Amino acid sequence: MSRNISTLSGREGRELDDSLWERLQEAAAKNGGSPGDGTLTEVADDFLIGEAITYGTSSFYDFLKKGNQGKKAYVCNGSTCLVAGTQDRVQAELEKHFKPEEIGHMCCLGRCHENSAFNVGDVNYSGGAIDQLEAIVKGEPVQAMDAYHVGTSMAEPILTAPMPALEEFYALWERVLKSDPKDILAEVKTATIRGRGGAGFPMGLKWESCANTPGDQKYIVCNADEGDPAAYSDRYLLEQRPHLVLFGMMVGGYCIGADTGVLYIRAEYPEAVEIVKQAVKDLEAKGWLGKDIQGSGFN
């Protein structure tokens, strides 16, 4: 994001949920899946940016691009599905129930291990689900969630270890809230934990830099987007281990002094979106997220 857009997004009276992305997303929802040329011009004028930026933003995302406006079904055109040679049949089967102009394309649904991936009614399907398309279109119950095995070569797995009950897992969060953020940060640095990005940047240094940077408002941001062929490790964490992700954000926010968290999930992962939303609601219900958490003074 350019400094101009960032500054205007944070100006007085413009909240985080009134960003360029949010404006385009809301307009697309009202306009059948695409913001429309008039909206792109209007938003560009409001943010004092060129129309090339609003067009570039809207055309980058599958659910905003003009070519996918008004679609009722989508075929995954990710490279893994294409190499598997399954998508021509998926397209043909969808055309038995939808007009060709009602079928769009998106990349990638994260079903690389099964292929034959498609989306109907904001739900992803893959594998043998295409053989149940008639039932799907009729709204009959069909297994949408895919099953896949995740192994590990570690003697004591971390990310794939069985999850304990929430009360047991978040007992550590209550301990964190009673600790000095600097002490927690020191432990993270000592553990030499690295980020999950390609660079593997040391988390302790990143958090320390954020903590030491002056600012009235700070955010903890988790970029859970992915889309490379056969890369769906983030999807596994979001769908199967959402509390590991949220807990990491919460500890990070506590260390750097952030009172707002932003978790970016690609719309191509609708199951992950709903699972994370429910996980957040569970945390709020338990009093582990919100204002003055556990009487700690931390929001």
Residue 12 has pLDDT above 50, yes or no: no
Q: Is the pLDDT higher at 27 or at 183?
A: 183
The pLDDT assigned to 262 comes to 92
Residue 6 has pLDDT above 70, yes or no: no
Please compute the mean of the pLDDT values over residues 115-120 and round it to a whole number: 94
- State the alpha helices, DSSP H only, in the chain: 3-9, 20-30, 37-47, 51-60, 79-84, 87-94, 133-138, 166-169, 171-177, 181-190, 203-212, 233-240, 242-256, 270-286
Q: Give the integer Cα–Cα distance in Å for 5 and 53.
A: 10
Other beta carbons less than 10 A from residue 112's beta carbon: 23
Largest interatomic CA distance in the chain: 62
Given a contact cutoff of 8 angstroms between Cβ atoms, the answer to whether 248 and 285 are in contact is no
The pLDDT assigned to 46 comes to 86
pLDDT category of residue 205 using cuts at 50, 70 and 90: very high
Residue 2 has pLDDT above 60, yes or no: no
Please compute the mean of the pLDDT values over residues 198-216 and round it to a whole number: 90
Reported as a single tens digit per residue, the pLDDT across 227-266 is 666 677 788 899 999 999 999 999 999 999 999 999 988 8
Q: Is the pLDDT higher at 62 or at 77?
A: 77
- The most confident of the ranges 57-71, 226-240, 259-273 is 259-273
Average pLDDT value for the chain: 88
Reported as a single tens digit per residue, the pLDDT across 144-158 is 777 777 778 888 888
Give the β-pairing of 73-76 and 118-120: antiparallel
Please compute the mean of the pLDDT values over residues 60-66 and round it to a whole number: 84
Q: Give the integer Cα–Cα distance in Å for 288 and 173.
A: 8
